[in-house]
Structure 1
Amino acid sequence: MECVHVRNAFLSGHFFTFALIGLLGLSTPSAAQTALETRLPVLSDATSSAISLQSEYRLGRNWARILRGQAPLMHDALVYHYLEELLWDLVPHSQLQDRRLELIVLDNPTFNAFAVPGGIVGVHGGLVVAAESEDELASVLAHELAHLSQRHFAQRLEEERRNRPVMLAGVLASILIGAMDTQGGAAALSSTLAASAQAQLAFSRRNEEEADRIGMQTLTASGRDPQAMPDMFSRLQRNYRFYGQRPPEFLLTHPVTESRIADSLNRVSSLQRPSPRPYSPDFDLIRTRLQVHFSSQPGEILQRFLADSRSSQAGRHDYGVMLAAMRTGDLALAETHYRKLPDNWRQHLYTEITYVEWLLAAGRKAEAAEASQRLLALYPGSLPVQKLQARVMRESQNYTQATAQYRAILQNYPNDTDAWYELAETEGLLGNILAVHEARIEYFLLTGNFDQALRQLEFAKRERGLTASDQERLERREKEAQEIRRQMREDF
């Protein structure tokens, strides 16, 4: 059996070139597909003549395969859980009809977020660090939900249909490039925007203004401060000076002007601002975690948090020391500042998970297993707790329980590439060769690596002792893989 020990399995050069050329060249549906969708419009939806909701969904999910295979994903389950909870706190108050959403968090320190047709919401980890409050972060997510609910992708496609579709496809491609390479994405997007006509840019501005207005309504309806939206956009705009001639990625895809900020401030003045929410450390915990994660000098950020902890009793400073000390290997210092945390911080789920991570780093696996089992009993459906339990079981060489936990995760998060990767590795430690192949097949399909997926299918079909059920399942999966690859070629 061939062993593949590469977490980020990139697309083959041929396929990626093909896909990117398709994105930059043409993204309209086929003639037959367009004809069918024109006969079956969504009632009261003028954009359905351009592209149906189902076509948007398929386009977005297939585009996400390219993104997962090319961009670094954030594998921190706590960060993902927090952002997912925040996103779904906003969704019921939005105008979104199709709520088949998928959140993708990128391990990228730049300030960016984006919405892609079909319910894909992308967030760069750096955006959390850039925000100064949870409401400011929520304002960006509310803005992206508004883009989805108003189907701005389909509106732009309808607008471009009379001219050329290159502009819209270029924006999608530039988001992808920016997720992989910040400077390259900026250059590609600048070129795309420079080539567009004034009318197209005006249409984009209308979309942004509408997303601001509806996003602010969503923010207010969810009990959050609408002032957070102009505050966040103003802060991002002020960060121009830190980028020289190149602004943050978010400002390239979401142009912010003084008049736009003034408009949002006028809207705030006409809205009734809700009472402040009770303080929760969730945002500060995750923001601190990402500050340490993105630090290129962990020793320096450790000294900064140490200095802050001496001058302030704020929990985030001691939590920052704990994380930074763990990263530098000073586990004694990390434990000391864990003990100094206020009760509401030390007893918080996120901190308890961090403490189990500390136990693992200290080699205290029995204590880690006991603590993770207790957390799993208290939070049985929590993604970060389930992932923690799987990790503890694996590091404790309890591979059977670890694989069971990874499979439980994938029941609710079938697109979790990290869980598929870890499942394949753990099944390998158990000697379950067919299960290794099947997990790798799913991983490669989710990351757009169809050649590797089909190759794994061939390996699986050659295994000895396959039952009739095994053969049928593999043949069905092969047909599905070929169909997805066909869709990708048609869409891109």
Structure 2
Amino acid sequence: MRTPLAVLPALLAALLLVVAPATSARADLLGDKLTLRDENKMGREFDTIIRSQMPMVGDTYITDYVAEVVTRVVTGKRPMPYQIKSAVIANPLINAFAIPGGFIYIFTGLIQDVETESQLAGVVAHELAHVSQRHVVNRLEKQKKISLLSTAGILAGVLLGVATGGSSGAAAGQALMIGSSGVATAAMLHYSQEDEREADQVGMNSLVKAGYNPEGMPQTFEIMLKNKWYDSSSSMPSYLSTHPGTEERIGYLNDRIARMPTEFTTRKDDNTRLKRVQVLVRSRMSPANTALAYWDDMKQADYTAMDWVGRGVTLERLKRIEEAQKAFDSALAMDRNDQLVVREAGIFYFKTGRPDQALPLLQQAAIMNQRDAMALFYLARLQAEAKQYGQAAKNMTKVNELVPEDWEVHQHLGMILGESGDAFSGNLHLAYSGVYSMDLGKARRYMNQAQALATTEAQKEQLQQLSETIKTRAALKK
């Protein structure tokens, strides 16, 4: 629930280690064809790695919004052979990517820089088209001998390049893509022009069927073109360069759009939620000085309540507390019934040591949005400080259900349960805190303490599941 941890450079090795045991046991071969079951298994394995090594956004206001956009795009793609799962990665690149099995990841840089929801949906539609058309899988199958290790090498190199955001990481990742399989070629790292065109066309179809303005797709490519992250001097792995804003692709998409009925191109987005999410992303996840410059460039007479919130969050990050206080006062004066305004003001008061002011605001925010993990997280912490352990445990358990792999949530839940007298559950969650923070010594220590307290079959089953999770994570650290 705090600012995401830096991406660990071990991602590449971790991906290889996870699949290596399977390759030795199965002669490294899956056969000539990858089934949907194989793809789903591959997707789940990589999702575990991505979540353990990359900075995932845990604010459910942000992730729920993105999930709704993704779900809406999927409605335009039915029948879809996968159950699509989305996540948001705290990374400033203007990008998104999807992997076999239907896992799609949206970068905060993309969310922050688009101007309309149709533009965000355009990238989602394009990425999901690569998955539904099985472009990566088809390329792997052309090798004739399909190996999990080769697949890991390809995707690991991709993710390493994105995670580091630098030329050295991308170069190392691409080198390992080739070396890991021994027979992979540079062509394996690229979608073909046919793949890209098909993803554009299939993606455009789903974008239109989902009710979005088709102009969103080429407009996003234009944003990428303006930022020039994709150009020939960039080391961005080509697998992730699935929507470079080249003039050619913008051109043929605009030609197709020109032949569409005007009812499609005159569709209007309701960008209200997008703009609110962008305030959260900019104020919390972009460099604080850059974020402040954004609000300094605006006339304060034009500020919305959310602009005051964004300014307040940014100033608090810069330790300019008195100025932040004034910003939150202005936000509350403008709209005290706005759930995000109330939530962020409550969090500010909590962080600055004013629990009496924080409590009613966080209670109000949690009532207004019962899926708001951030409001519930800080409310539960306040209740724990007041020794209201029953209510604190109830609310932190809800947070854990909403954000199940956040180490800090498990840490606080474990302490709350321990204080309330549930020593077994307290130790169990403290162990999971160690798992998800990759402190496996801590995880094993608290697992042993929980083991000494386990008396029921249900508790023993919980410990068995914890043990398996620790084993999986331990493979990532070797």
Same fold (TM over 0.5): yes
For residues 301 and 160 of structure 2, the distance between their equivalents in structure 1, rounded to whole angstroms, comes to 42
Are 2:279 and 2:306, in contact at CA under 8 Å, matched by a contact in 1? yes
1:208 alignment partner AA: E
Residue 475 to residue 74, structure 1, CA distance change in 2 (3 Å): closer
Residue 238 to residue 18, structure 1, CA distance change in 2 (3 Å): closer
Structure-1 residue corresponding to 2:370: 380
For residues 326 and 148 of structure 1, the distance between their equivalents in structure 2, rounded to whole angstroms, comes to 41
Residue 202 to residue 79, structure 1, CA distance change in 2 (3 Å): closer
1:262 to 242, 251, 264: 251
Q: Secondary structure of the residue that 2:141 maps to in structure 1?
A: helix
**What are the equivalent positions in structure 2 for 1:35-434 lying under 5 Å apart?**
50-95=33-78, 97-161=80-144, 168-183=151-166, 184-191=168-175, 197=185, 200=188, 204-240=192-228, 245-246=233-234, 252-254=240-242, 256=244, 257-272=246-261, 273=264, 275-277=266-268, 279-298=270-289, 301-302=291-292, 304-310=294-300, 312-313=302-303, 317-338=307-328, 340=330, 347-394=337-384, 396-411=386-401, 413-430=403-420, 432-434=422-424
Structure-2 residue corresponding to 1:20: 16
For residues 109 and 163 of structure 2, the distance between their equivalents in structure 1, rounded to whole angstroms, comes to 14
For residues 226 and 338 of structure 1, the distance between their equivalents in structure 2, rounded to whole angstroms, comes to 38
Query: Would you say 1:469 and 2:457 are equivalent positions?
Result: yes
Cα distance, 1:50 vs structure 2? 1.9
For residues 420 and 99 of structure 1, the distance between their equivalents in structure 2, rounded to whole angstroms, comes to 30
Residue 450 to residue 115, structure 1, CA distance change in 2 (3 Å): farther
For residues 241 and 150 of structure 2, the distance between their equivalents in structure 1, rounded to whole angstroms, comes to 12
For residues 455 and 9 of structure 1, the distance between their equivalents in structure 2, rounded to whole angstroms, comes to 25
Give the number of the structure with larger relative contact order, counting CA–CA contacts within 8 Å between residues 6 or more apart: 1
Cα distance, 1:320 vs structure 2? 3.1
Structure-2 residue corresponding to 1:46: none
Residue 354 to residue 176, structure 1, CA distance change in 2 (3 Å): same
Q: Secondary structure of the residue that 1:104 maps to in structure 2?
A: strand
Q: Secondary structure of the residue that 2:214 maps to in structure 1?
A: coil
Q: Secondary structure of the residue that 1:161 maps to in structure 2?
A: coil
2:16 alignment partner AA: L
TM-score scaled by length of structure 2: 0.79
Residue 364 to residue 89, structure 1, CA distance change in 2 (3 Å): farther
Count of matched residue pairs? 466
1:131 alignment partner AA: V
Residue 158 to residue 343, structure 1, CA distance change in 2 (3 Å): farther
- Residue by residue over 1:103-150, the C-alpha shift from the partner in whole angstroms, topping out at 9 and shown as x without a partner, is 332222222321122232222222222323322222222222222323
2:241 alignment partner AA: T
Are 1:146 and 1:211, in contact at CA under 8 Å, matched by a contact in 2? yes
- Residue by residue over 1:154-197, the C-alpha shift from the partner in whole angstroms, topping out at 9 and shown as x without a partner, is 32222232698876433310233135322144223554689965
Are 1:157 and 1:165, in contact at CA under 8 Å, matched by a contact in 2? no
Residue 148 to residue 313, structure 1, CA distance change in 2 (3 Å): same
Residue 100 to residue 201, structure 1, CA distance change in 2 (3 Å): closer
For residues 66 and 266 of structure 1, the distance between their equivalents in structure 2, rounded to whole angstroms, comes to 40
Residue 268 to residue 274, structure 1, CA distance change in 2 (3 Å): closer
2:355 alignment partner AA: K
For residues 281 and 196 of structure 2, the distance between their equivalents in structure 1, rounded to whole angstroms, comes to 28
Cα distance, 1:415 vs structure 2? 4.4
Higher mean C-alpha deviation, range 271-280 or range 159-168: 159-168
Higher mean C-alpha deviation, range 24-33 or range 399-408: 24-33
For residues 205 and 294 of structure 1, the distance between their equivalents in structure 2, rounded to whole angstroms, comes to 35
1:87 alignment partner AA: V
For residues 437 and 303 of structure 2, the distance between their equivalents in structure 1, rounded to whole angstroms, comes to 44
For residues 354 and 254 of structure 1, the distance between their equivalents in structure 2, rounded to whole angstroms, comes to 36
Cα distance, 1:201 vs structure 2? 6.2
Are 2:126 and 2:199, in contact at CA under 8 Å, matched by a contact in 1? yes
Higher mean C-alpha deviation, range 412-421 or range 263-272: 412-421
Are 2:161 and 2:236, in contact at CA under 8 Å, matched by a contact in 1? no
Residue 485 to residue 186, structure 1, CA distance change in 2 (3 Å): closer
For residues 174 and 9 of structure 2, the distance between their equivalents in structure 1, rounded to whole angstroms, comes to 27
Percent identity reads 23
- Residue by residue over 1:15-46, the C-alpha shift from the partner in whole angstroms, topping out at 9 and shown as x without a partner, is 974643677999799469947xxxxxxxxxxx
For residues 379 and 181 of structure 1, the distance between their equivalents in structure 2, rounded to whole angstroms, comes to 35
Structure-2 residue corresponding to 1:41: none
Q: Secondary structure of the residue that 1:122 maps to in structure 2?
A: strand
For residues 179 and 252 of structure 1, the distance between their equivalents in structure 2, rounded to whole angstroms, comes to 8
2:465 alignment partner AA: R
Q: Secondary structure of the residue that 1:160 maps to in structure 2?
A: coil
What residue ranges of structure 1 are gaps of 5+ in the alignment? 1-6, 36-48
Report the aligned-residue RMSD.
4.3
Q: Secondary structure of the residue that 1:282 maps to in structure 2?
A: helix
TM-score scaled by length of structure 1: 0.77
Residue 21 to residue 414, structure 1, CA distance change in 2 (3 Å): closer
Are 1:27 and 1:169, in contact at CA under 8 Å, matched by a contact in 2? no
Cα distance, 1:426 vs structure 2? 3.5
1:232 alignment partner AA: T
1:419 alignment partner AA: V
2:118 alignment partner AA: D
Cα distance, 1:391 vs structure 2? 4.2
- Residue by residue over 1:251-295, the C-alpha shift from the partner in whole angstroms, topping out at 9 and shown as x without a partner, is 853262432222222232233325443644322222222223344
For residues 165 and 324 of structure 1, the distance between their equivalents in structure 2, rounded to whole angstroms, comes to 44
For residues 228 and 344 of structure 1, the distance between their equivalents in structure 2, rounded to whole angstroms, comes to 32
Cα distance, 1:335 vs structure 2? 4.6
For residues 192 and 420 of structure 1, the distance between their equivalents in structure 2, rounded to whole angstroms, comes to 35
Are 1:189 and 1:252, in contact at CA under 8 Å, matched by a contact in 2? no
Residue 355 to residue 12, structure 1, CA distance change in 2 (3 Å): closer
